[in-house]
Amino acid sequence: EVQLQASGGGLVQPGGSLTLSCAASGVVFDEYAIGWFRQAPGKEREGVSCISHSGLSTYYGNSVKGRFSISRDDSKNTVYLAMKDLAPEDTAVYYCTTDDGVLGRGCSKFPEQDGMINWGKGTLVTVSS
């Protein structure tokens, strides 16, 4: 059973930085593309970033390009999302998700959720002064 645990959320002031982590278990980690999505109150879920199983390809939503950076450490079964220049509009619950491994579509449908089948519980990021 695939389990994903997102962590690292919290309260940060505008202009601040935060790094989220997504730890996975129950998978051969390097076979999976990993995505980050977020959902703000009253809004639809939005694609934030995605990294291919090899780590060679990364993708970002338009609203976070240049401010967020995704990376993976397969030795730790963990993906990171480094966020800087945070703004109140970045306030949301952040979720990590995976595709279906070797049979999966990777990040090909990003920023749509299509093909992402395993979801963890989110971590709340609040940007406020």
The string of pLDDT tens digits covering residues 87-118 is: 999 999 999 999 998 888 899 999 999 999 99
pLDDT at 101: 87
What pLDDT was estimated at residue 42? 94
66 burial (CB, 10 Å; 0-12 / 13-18 / 19+) is exposed
The C-alpha atoms of residue 77 and residue 110 are separated, in whole angstroms, by: 21
Residue 111: C-alpha distances to residues 30, 58, 59, 75, 127 (Å): 21, 11, 8, 26, 23
What pLDDT does 2 receive? 87
Per-residue pLDDT at 15 exceeds 90: yes
The pLDDT mean for the chain works out to 95
- Does position 129 have pLDDT exceeding 90, yes or no? yes
At residue 75, does pLDDT exceed 90? yes
Locus of tokens 């309260």: 11
Tokens of 105: 């579509």
Residue in the structure block whose two tokens are 């579509």: 105
pLDDT value of residue 124: 98
Instruction: Give the mean pLDDT of 59-66.
Output: 98
Is it the case that residue 11 has pLDDT exceeding 90? yes
**Which contacts (CB < 8 Å, 24+ apart) does range 60-69 have?**
61/111, 63/89, 64/90
Residue scoring higher pLDDT (127 or 1): 127
More confident residue, 62 or 2: 62
